[in-house]
């Protein structure tokens, strides 16, 4: 009799467990919503579709990431999923994305993936405050904006640095492009941001290399255990933060060493400000901010220049027209060795097309993240309050409806693209109030680097490349080595 009751009891418990798990699974797969959710799958409870998202193919691929491509084909331009335990709606709808990015603080707010927040630190939360964001934007524009660039002093530094680095690379059997360019970008931006002289620190090369590979950690599972990419990035982050903290402490204790750079302005304002602003400009925030700015500049510029050099190697007609444009600038000068001017930069129309096309085919990340602060109604669906929204600019940049043969590298396509098409279908530097204020700085630097490269040097690809269709066949993370040679006769080379 006792055995029978035990059996009945165990059967009841097992039945209740099955019912409970079934109910939980159903609730997970069908979240509460004041309307109709976008189509899609929430994956397994808690895990969601995280594993498929992170390991479903390289995020560096020229094509749309496989995870996103498959779901767009199945569900359309708006679909739901779950990543790292969070419900997410992904959108490749240009009209909705353009609309939603204009509605920050009304319908959406800034949000980062857990891995990114852990790596960036306190600046991720502080910059979500409107008055802090406005202050930092104005400060950045004062030091790196168009008006500052027009003064030519910074452009001259860029040109000189590009020449020095290319000259140095030409003495080596070969160079690994992304890491080498990362070192150059780090030297320039760290000098402008915090007067960091790389010649005084033997670890500068290691620091630039660490920054150049941080995107691997951002786009990985946030598992901080030895052996993972995320763990390596967190260890590297600690080294970089300590370096920045040392510089900040030196400037705080020795005001006479402030030379008017970006960090000096922050420290001066910190000493003058009162109330909320002073509370925000903590030492921890300043360290996190400097790290974030260095990371953004090094990762974005080094990756883009790496890709453009690969693409130019595989597209001789593009390279030929690019060379002609820059050699025409030299021919029009009274003194061929004069430094570049703002007017000359603005005349680089084909160069701009090359950079735009490179940015289009090589999105650094699959999308832009925001969080819904209200229920959002779109195309008959509802995105519930609290859900994450990922604006899939990587997919929009490859939409054949706006970009014919989207995987082909074709800078000439930009000649006929209207301003409205570009505004809603091309935003490599973000959109809305968070459009990157360093966009012009980055484009100027890339243009000047290409100017020096094609007028004074040539290069030969040693490994990697693309196929005949124009689709890049090698990940920018892979070793892409080139042999740099100095030109002795520009006209002879171009002919």
Q: What is the pLDDT of residues 283-298, one digit of tens each?
A: 888 888 888 888 888 8
Exposed / middle / buried, residue 214 (Cβ in 10 Å: 0-12, 13-18, 19+): buried
Strands (E) located in 344-433: 368-372, 376-378, 381-383, 388-391
Give me the pLDDT at residue 274, please: 57
Helix (H, G, I), strand (E, B) or coil at 427: coil
More confident residue, 135 or 26: 135
| 353 falls within a domain | no
The number of folded domains in the chain is 1
Tabulate helix, strand, coil % of the chain (nearest 5). Answer: 60, 10, 30
Least trusted range by pLDDT, from 110-114, 202-206, 333-337, 424-428: 202-206
CATH number of the domain enclosing 66: 1.10.630.10
Per-residue pLDDT at 176: 86
Residue among 180, 453, 440 nearest 322 (CA):
453
Identify whether 441 is part of a domain. Answer: no
Task: Say if 16 falls within a structural domain.
Answer: no
pTM for the predicted model, two decimal places: 0.85
Q: Which residues sit in the known binding site?
A: 436
| Domain span at 35 | 31-128+365-425
Confirm whether 11 is domain-assigned: no
Backbone phi and psi for residue 389, each to the nearest 5 degrees, phi listed first: -115, 130
Indicate the annotated binding residues for heme: 436
Residue ranges with strand state E in 416-494:
457-461, 481-486
Within a domain: 384:
yes
Residue 69, domain member (yes or no) = yes
Q: Say how far residue 440 (Cα) sits from the centre of its chain.
A: 15
Q: How confident is the model at residue 477 (pLDDT cuts 50, 70, 90)?
A: very low
Report yes or no on 114 lying in a domain.
Answer: yes
Confidence at residue 476, expressed as pLDDT on a 0 to 100 scale: 36
Name the strand (E) or helix (H) holding 318: helix 316-331
Cβ–Cβ under 8 Å, residues 304 and 363: no
Please check whether residue 358 lies inside any domain of the structure. Answer: no
Q: What are phi and psi of 88, to 5 degrees?
A: -135, 140
∠ at Cα 414 (413, 417), nearest 5°?
100
Q: What is the mean pLDDT of residues 411-418?
A: 89
Helices within 77-226 (DSSP H only): 94-101, 114-120, 123-126, 130-144, 146-150, 153-169, 177-194, 204-212, 214-218
Tens-digit pLDDT profile for residues 54-70: 775 544 567 788 889 99
pLDDT tens across 87-116, in order? Answer: 999 999 999 998 998 888 889 887 776 555
The Cα 447–Cα 307 span in angstroms is: 14
């Amino acid at each position: 009799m006792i055995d029978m009751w035990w059996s009945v009891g165990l059967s009841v418990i097992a039945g209740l467990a099955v019912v409970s798990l079934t109910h939980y699974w159903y609730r997970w797969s069908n979240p509460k919503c004041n309307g109709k959710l976008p189509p899609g799958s929430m994956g397994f409870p808690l895990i969601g579709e995280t594993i498929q998202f992170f390991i479903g193919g390289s995020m560096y691929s020229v094509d749309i990431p496989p995870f996103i491509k498959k779901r767009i084909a199945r569900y359309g331009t708006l679909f739901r999923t779950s990543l790292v335990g969070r419900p997410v709606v992904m959108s490749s709808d240009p009209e909705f994305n353009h609309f939603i990015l204009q509605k920050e603080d009304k319908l959406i707010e800034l949000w980062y993936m857990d891995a990114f927040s852990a790596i960036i630190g306190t600046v991720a939360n502080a910059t979500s405050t409107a008055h802090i964001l406005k202050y930092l934007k104005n400060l950045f524009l004062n030091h790196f904006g168009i008006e500052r660039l027009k003064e030519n002093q910074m452009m001259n530094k860029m040109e000189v640095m590009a020449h020095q680095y290319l000259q140095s690379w030409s003495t080596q059997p070969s160079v690994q492009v992304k890491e080498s360019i990362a070192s150059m970008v780090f030297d320039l931006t760290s000098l402008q941001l915090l007067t960091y002289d790389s010649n005084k620190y033997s670890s500068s090369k290691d620091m630039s290399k660490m920054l150049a590979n941080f995107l691997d950690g951002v786009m990985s599972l946030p598992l901080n255990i030895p052996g993972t990419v995320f763990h390596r990035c967190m260890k590297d982050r600690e080294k970089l933060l300590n370096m920045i903290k040392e510089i900040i402490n030196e400037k705080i204790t020795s005001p006479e060493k402030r030379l008017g750079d970006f960090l000096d302005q922050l420290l001066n304002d910190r000493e003058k400000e009162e109330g909320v602003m002073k509370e925000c400009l903590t030492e921890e925030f300043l360290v996190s901010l400097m790290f974030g700015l260095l990371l953004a500049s090094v990762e974005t510029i080094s990756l883009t220049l790496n890709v453009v050099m690969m693409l130019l190697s595989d597209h001789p007609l593009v390279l030929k027209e690019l060379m002609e444009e820059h050699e025409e600038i030299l021919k029009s000068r009274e003194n061929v060795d004069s430094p570049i001017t703002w007017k000359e930069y603005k005349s680089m129309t084909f160069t701009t097309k090359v950079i735009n096309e490179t940015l289009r085919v090589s999105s650094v990340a699959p999308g832009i993240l925001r969080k819904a602060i209200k229920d959002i109604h779109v195309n008959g669906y509802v995105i519930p309050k609290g859900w994450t929204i990922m604006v899939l600019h990587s997919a929009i940049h490859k939409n054949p409806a706006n970009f014919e043969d989207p995987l082909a590298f074709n800078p000439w396509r930009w000649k006929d693209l209207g301003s409205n098409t570009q505004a809603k279908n091309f935003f490599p530097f973000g959109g809305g109030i968070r459009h990157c204020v360093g966009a012009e700085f980055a484009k100027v630097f890339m243009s000047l680097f290409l100017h020096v490269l094609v007028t004074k040097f040539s290069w030969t690809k040693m490994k990697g490349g693309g196929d005949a269709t124009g689709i890049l066949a090698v990940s920018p993370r892979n070793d892409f080595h080139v042999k740099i040679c100095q030109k002795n006769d520009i006209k002879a080379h171009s002919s």
